[in-house]
Amino acid sequence: MSGSTFGVAFRVTTFGESHGGAVGAVIDGCPPGLELDLEAIQVELARRRPGQSELVTQRREDDLVEVLSGVFEGRTLGTPLAMMIRNRDAKPEAYRPLADRYRPSHADFVYDAKFGRRAWAGGGRASARETAARVAAGAVARQVLHRLGPVEVLAWVDRIGDVQASVDPAQVSLEAVEAHPLVRCPDPEAATEMEARVRAARRDGDTVGGIIRCVARGVPPGLGEPVFDKLDADLAKAMVSLPAAKGVEIGSGFAGTRMSGLQHNDAFVPDDARGIGTRTNRSGGIQGGISNGMPIELAVAFKPVATVFREQDTVDRAGRATTITARGRHDPCVLPRAVPIVEAMTCLVLVDHWLRWRGQVGTAPPVPLEG
Amino acid sequence: MSGSTFGVAFRVTTFGESHGGAVGAVIDGCPPGLELDLEAIQVELARRRPGQSELVTQRREDDLVEVLSGVFEGRTLGTPLAMMIRNRDAKPEAYRPLADRYRPSHADFVYDAKFGRRAWAGGGRASARETAARVAAGAVARQVLHRLGPVEVLAWVDRIGDVQASVDPAQVSLEAVEAHPLVRCPDPEAATEMEARVRAARRDGDTVGGIIRCVARGVPPGLGEPVFDKLDADLAKAMVSLPAAKGVEIGSGFAGTRMSGLQHNDAFVPDDARGIGTRTNRSGGIQGGISNGMPIELAVAFKPVATVFREQDTVDRAGRATTITARGRHDPCVLPRAVPIVEAMTCLVLVDHWLRWRGQVGTAPPVPLEG
Amino acid sequence: MSGSTFGVAFRVTTFGESHGGAVGAVIDGCPPGLELDLEAIQVELARRRPGQSELVTQRREDDLVEVLSGVFEGRTLGTPLAMMIRNRDAKPEAYRPLADRYRPSHADFVYDAKFGRRAWAGGGRASARETAARVAAGAVARQVLHRLGPVEVLAWVDRIGDVQASVDPAQVSLEAVEAHPLVRCPDPEAATEMEARVRAARRDGDTVGGIIRCVARGVPPGLGEPVFDKLDADLAKAMVSLPAAKGVEIGSGFAGTRMSGLQHNDAFVPDDARGIGTRTNRSGGIQGGISNGMPIELAVAFKPVATVFREQDTVDRAGRATTITARGRHDPCVLPRAVPIVEAMTCLVLVDHWLRWRGQVGTAPPVPLEG
Amino acid sequence: MSGSTFGVAFRVTTFGESHGGAVGAVIDGCPPGLELDLEAIQVELARRRPGQSELVTQRREDDLVEVLSGVFEGRTLGTPLAMMIRNRDAKPEAYRPLADRYRPSHADFVYDAKFGRRAWAGGGRASARETAARVAAGAVARQVLHRLGPVEVLAWVDRIGDVQASVDPAQVSLEAVEAHPLVRCPDPEAATEMEARVRAARRDGDTVGGIIRCVARGVPPGLGEPVFDKLDADLAKAMVSLPAAKGVEIGSGFAGTRMSGLQHNDAFVPDDARGIGTRTNRSGGIQGGISNGMPIELAVAFKPVATVFREQDTVDRAGRATTITARGRHDPCVLPRAVPIVEAMTCLVLVDHWLRWRGQVGTAPPVPLEG
């Protein structure tokens, strides 16, 4: 029950440690007949890849995905689609001096506490390297989504440290986000400032955190299940399951708690495109846990990276006080590389709920409108 | 796949609509031999109950739970524990005038969109009445927790609108929370101000939102699974699955994203009680998705209640513009009654992960300390 | 993880002990909009009901089902459909003399061994009374099936002890089965002989077992999942999960193992009704774990009822040798009442797989035929 | 939801097509700290391997397993254990002439019917090659079992065609089974006859089926869940999910249905080794779905292999009558190679239920004996 599977209908199981043989994902439940675009998977992986710029970890991984099963003559079979990415630049021995000391705010201690042992090379299973498998799976999910409907899932860096961008979720585009790939912030001025902020942190051997926002446009009303498996609940789980995530908001989030009900409510209005829309979108596209056809909007808080290149107090495996100084190759700021990961998790949740909905209700669209 | 089951090892399935025959919960996987304290379940239900004060909905429900199965001679059998709470003060007909119009920021429209129909009496399945079943199940989970270890789970209202309480999570007690049951805020001054804020909203036919915080003390290190089923991820899902929840934070949350890594890291220190502790607790008791033995701390954002007693713009089922004015009995502020619900969901997550951990690793404690 | 939930998309959770307050089922994932026929549910329950004839247990239960949730204005909502059947004629005290002795070939000992305790009144959770909940859920599943396609699920008693019926699975009808409700065998001569066999056993304080066969006609090709969740694998689990079941066969079963491949293979042939059919049906309508459009045929072996009214050797809870003589009200032969239970489990499996297939592949029928 | 995951606590997901890049398994939930014996995994794979003798398919696969994750310094980490076996002797082109015609009693037609396409090279996902992944996973499960208790799982060929072996389940040993690896029957005389039977079938271009029996000794009482996830129900599913399996029996099975209750019941007796045992074992070690400490005994019916080297009637993808003659490399009898597969599935079920039981009830043994 070690929790490495996500989803109910579109089920993704990931495997792999940071410095083991490979990381990978098995997708069980992928619709058959999808013409799989491998190039598109590599594009997503390239956005997450280490070494993609001078501002991220310099570990060199080409992150080439090998499809081991589930595809025949270029199309998905409907059977498990297994993908593997070799760890080529693993350097486990670099971590041996840290094997007996717990890096602060890393998962070293808790893995020992839980399992009685851990892969001390890099973060082992807790390493962000695992997210390469999520991105590969999410890239498949995005292709499925595109067959199901005209859905667009887009994330960007909204804040780094105190540098806040100004972005209109209704207008933001992938081009704008990728115009500044070093930080993936579509506000050019803020992006420049963010870049400086990250450079300063790196220079100081320190790190910075921030916020990523994500929008999903074109999601039809009806995705999400009552009660526990609400669409926003599953999105929240998906996001908080990411390394370094410490919070999530849907729609108005924490700020909305300061409004009154009259201010906060989204009035329904006739809508040419949707049939029924809302005047405002404080609900973030989800009401009662189910999509309402408006853009889904969420934000994720990422704490600053725990690996700082300064001496820190800690304890060893015997519980004795000691100090530790980081080794290994790390990012001063995780957010630019986390943008495709947030999109991947969003795609996984949306596809899973779409297939669940289709199973229970059928594709003949339920007709909410009565004349 | 309609998503009404929560948990993997300690599985809770709830059922029931607001104005149907009953709401209830079936717990599958409860450890056997637990002397079930029915009175304690009723105490929790009383904290959530409508009509408990002048500041909440005046629907009159005694919320007496009937145990239908799973208990014999006062102890749990290990087989499904079914609990049922009759809906006694259901008044479906009061909602008929609203049957064809969508209440803004309610789930009316999305249920129609998803299922092609809905129980238009009250919120149906989307009503907060469903949470009575969660509280009953959570009260059982709390009793299981108490047998597993000296765990204490405690929530309180931390902010209503702009009225912010000042509470020390390390010191707060149930007595302090219940000293002001109208708002369940342990800061007496803030509690008085909050009460005034809620009264003002009710007088205006308006509503208010706010933040609930929760702490779990005494949780051992090791609960939570790598990757997807992280303890914080499952807590996030649990919280965002609550009606009106729009966000969740673990530990430092969104505020922590403004700190640098050096500031944010929790240094490990020898700890007499725990063996190994941390100097600060910005991680909120969870690192890498696994509890580290420090208090688990989280916060949940609740938007203002959607039912306001003013005329609002909306559309009917045919998508034509119209207006709507609320009917029914509702709370001007959901937070005081949500406190036991947040605790219930926390208990459910903790027990589930404890049993999962015990299954995989065994009760012989893994020994992280080597001498 | 106590295993009281069945199905993936159409999920049924049952609860209840033999002499507790109630037994019941919660169906999560039922398609919405189904006009629920309560009368049809009662008809199925009446076929399983104790006291329906002089040849079955004389426990008096009207087995009236109360729908607690999930239905509104006569139609399913798509939310959990909870059904409860009160235990009215529970007589727990009758079992007290047996509380400390293990009835041979009953579940008394293993429940104690597993849980450290058990509901010693009747079989507790292990009682066949639990199957009332399955029959109620199966009756709902049958109604869903009928909306999905022209599917007919029919079971009958094929053998009791050594009395073998001669039945043509292609021709057998519900009328023929119910023509002799005391044994539910559609072969009149065999039925008469079977009845005599059961009467003889009852007179001797003994019991008899036998075989039930089941056919499902009109199932389209494509139901069932590759590898583990094969349609026949899930049917096998469903059947062997029934009280007293000791074996299951699909199609040619054990007899088919004596044939050669040339004899056993089902040649494909053009078929006016199906497009593609098979000349023989040794596969029992399932190939590679997936339905092929031919009638699904299975057989279930039921051992003789364990409760015999003779003194038997056994041990007490302390492991000391003692004897035991049955008490309570029991059937000399479980098969006639098990017929609707076998049908119910078949319906549950078929609906579950139909919805799973629809979720993954969609309702637009995949086109196997190319011209 | 394509059903390639097995188990609840010890979850195995397999992937791979017969002539794709690889087959493999991901085990999620493996207990940590297990010293993994890779050699033992290869030994099991060698028992299943094609080309191991002149009587099985001559496809040449070394079936070397590569562990991709979940093991560090030779021990399991508790995180997903991924294993991959390359397909080295894949010859997809050999199947092209059959791509548009359905092989009788194979899964070709149903895969097309379900998914709209199929991997026509070999059986694709339906090929018995997938079972290599099961055997690898089962070999890990067996190692976990050995740490949990002195459990021995052993299967053998009990009948081929009409050649019935005489084997005492209480005495049979691995050595006796492997003494005749061409048929894996521990009765030497029967083994010789079986071998002749298989040779005759091969000479005729025909195939034979039969029965495999399996015993699990040393399983403690208490494994298995009430109601649906009964130990025998999960074993039945496990067995019928195997290619060519058409039936399964637990304990007395179909033969037991001819006995009366008095004859069939297993009297409890004091037992020096077990505390409580039974005089006979018609229950096959499972009562009420839960192990009772006696040897678990089951039998599986395997139909004759569908690939016969004679011309057979069939249809093409357009539904037109045609004929087909087998190609590819195939076994005249699948049973000798299926012996380790039956053991593997048994091990998977036992470990899964052991961990589930430990999670719910804890390792402190429940005390059924009261003195």
Count of beta carbons in the 10 Å neighbourhood of residue B74: 10
Contacts for C33 with CB less than 8 Å, ≥ 6 apart: A366, B115, B116, B117, C75, C76, C78
pLDDT at B16: 97
Q: How far is A79 from chain D (nearest CA, A)?
A: 6
**pLDDT mean over C264-290:** 96
Helix B108-115 / helix A335-361 crossing angle, nearest 10 deg = 60
Judged by CB atoms closer than 8 Å, whether chains meet at A211 and B306 is answered as no
Position C52 confidence tier, pLDDT thresholds 50, 70, 90: confident
Amino acid at A67: V
- CA–CA separation, B141 and A223 (whole Å): 30
Q: Which of C80-84, C85-89, C90-94, D35-39 has the lowest mean pLDDT?
A: C90-94
Give the pair of three-digit tokens for residue B19. Answer: 């104005």
pLDDT, mean of residues D331-350 = 96
The rounded distance, in Å, linking the Cα atoms of B59 and B327 is: 12
Q: Do B360 and D29 touch (CB under 8 A)?
A: yes
Contacts of D133 (CB under 8 A, 6+ apart): D14, D15, D16, D23, D24, D25, D83, D85
The pLDDT of residue A26: 98
Give the chain D residue nearest A10 (alpha carbons).
Answer: D1
Do C254 and D161 meet the contact criterion of CB atoms below 8 Å apart? Answer: no
Question: With an 8 Å Cβ cutoff, are A261 and B111 in contact?
Answer: no
Widest CA span in chain D? 74
Only one residue has tokens 């057998």, namely C172
Residues of D engaging B, defined by a Cβ cutoff of 8 Å: 8-9, 29-33, 78-79, 226-227, 355-356, 358-364, 366
* Mean per-residue pLDDT over chain B, rounded: 93
Q: Residue B122's pLDDT is what?
A: 79
Comparing CB atoms, the residue among A4, A17, A75 nearest residue D117 is A75
Percent above pLDDT 70 for chain A: 96
pLDDT in tens, B55-107: 777 777 889 999 999 999 999 999 999 999 999 877 778 788 888 999 999 99
Angle between helices C335-361 and A335-361 (to 10 degrees): 130
pLDDT at A274: 86
For residues B152 and B19, the model is more confident at B152
Residues in a beta bridge with B85: B23, B65
Instruction: Specify the range with the lowest mean pLDDT, choosing from B221-230, B299-308, C322-331.
Output: C322-331
Looking at residue A1, its pLDDT comes to: 67
The SS3 call for residue B350 is helix
Are B124 and B118 in contact, with CB atoms under 8 Å apart?
Answer: yes
* Token pair for B180: 């002001």
Is the CB of D257 less than 8 angstroms away from the CB of C317?
A: no
Q: Which two tokens stand for residue C174?
A: 């519900």
**Three-state secondary structure call for residue D365:** coil
Distance (Å, whole) CA A201 – CA C47: 75
Strands D81-86 and D65-69: antiparallel
CB spacing of C225 vs D2 below 8 angstroms: yes
How high does pLDDT run on average in chain C? 93
Given a cut of 60, is residue C27 above it in pLDDT? yes
| pLDDT per residue as tens digits for the range B176-219 | 999 999 999 999 999 999 999 999 999 999 999 999 999 999 99
Q: What are phi and psi of C341, to 5 degrees?
A: -75, -40
Q: What is the CA radius of gyration of chain D?
A: 21
Whether ipTM > 0.85 holds is yes
| Alpha-carbon span D67 to D24, nearest angstrom | 10
Q: Which residues of C touch D3 (CB under 8 A)?
A: 225-230, 356
Neighbours of chain B (3+ CB pairs under 8 A): A, C, D
With bands split at pLDDT 50, 70 and 90, how would you rate the model's confidence at A366?
very low
B363: closest CA of chain D, how far (Å): 6
How many other C-beta atoms are found inside a 10 Å radius of the C-beta of residue A66? 14
**CA A4 to chain CA mean position, Å:** 15
3-state secondary structure of B83: strand
Looking at residue B274, what is its pLDDT?
86
User: Is C226's CB within 8 Å of A360's CB?
Assistant: no
Comparing alpha-carbon positions, the chain C residue that sits nearest to D288 is: C107
Nearest Cα of chain A lies from the Cα of C30 at a distance, in angstroms, of: 7
Query: D3 to chain A: nearest residue by CA?
Result: A28
Q: Which residue on chain C is closest to A226 by alpha carbon?
A: C79
Residues of A in contact with C31 (CB under 8 A): 360-362
Yes or no: say if B53 and B181 are a contact pair by the CB < 8 Å rule: yes
C-chain residues within 8 Å CB-CB of B11? 1, 5
Instruction: Calculate the CA dihedral of residues B198, B202, B207, B210 and round it to 10 degrees.
Output: 10
pLDDT higher than 70, residue D368: no
The candidate with the shortest Cα–Cα distance to B124, out of B137, B107, B136, B105, is B107
Nearest CB to B70; choose among C15, C75, C355: C15
Does pLDDT of C370 surpass 80? no
Query: How much is the pLDDT for C328?
Result: 66
Residue written as token pair 């704490």: A303
As a whole number of angstroms, the distance between CA A117 and CA D252 comes to: 45
pLDDT greater at residue B1 or residue C93: C93
Residue contact A315–B269, C-beta within 8 A: yes
**Three-state SS letters, D143-196:** HHHHHHCCCEEEEEEEEECCEECCCCCCCCCHHHHHCCCCCCCCCHHHHHHHHH
Inspect the interface and report whether the beta carbons of D246 and C237 lie closer than 8 Å: no
Contact A15 D82 (CB under 8 A): yes
Where b means 16+ CB within 10 Å and e means fewer, B255-292 reads ebbbbbbbebbbbbbeeeeeebbbebbbbbbbbbbbbb
pLDDT of residue B61: 80
**What pLDDT, in 10s, does the model give residues A269-308?**
999 888 999 999 999 999 999 999 999 999 999 999 999 9
**Chain D partners within 8 Å of C262 (Cβ):** 206-207, 308, 310, 312
Q: Tell which residue, D261, A263, D169, has the closest CA to residue C105.
A: D261
C2 vs B4, B5, B78: nearest CB: B78
Cβ atoms B216, B152 nearer than 8 A: yes
Residues C157-215: tens digit of each pLDDT: 999 999 999 999 999 999 999 999 999 999 999 999 999 999 999 999 999 999 999 99
CB–CB contact B310 A262 (8 Å): yes
User: How far apart are the CA of D72 and the nearest CA of chain C, in angstroms?
Assistant: 29
Which position has the token pair 């794979």?
Answer: D45
Band of residue B370 on the pLDDT scale cut at 50, 70, 90: very low
pLDDT at B62: 87
Inform me whether the pLDDT recorded for A365 exceeds 60: no
Q: How many other CB atoms sit within 10 Å of the CB of residue B88?
A: 12
Query: How distant is the Cα of B9 from the closest Cα of chain D, in angstroms?
Result: 7
Cα distances (angstroms) measured from residue A196 to each of A31, A83, A315, C164: 44, 37, 34, 86
Q: B359 contacts in D (CB within 8 Å)?
A: 9, 29, 355-356, 358-360
Helices A335-361 and A231-240: crossing angle in degrees, nearest 10, is 150
* A contacts of C147 (beta carbons < 8 Å): none
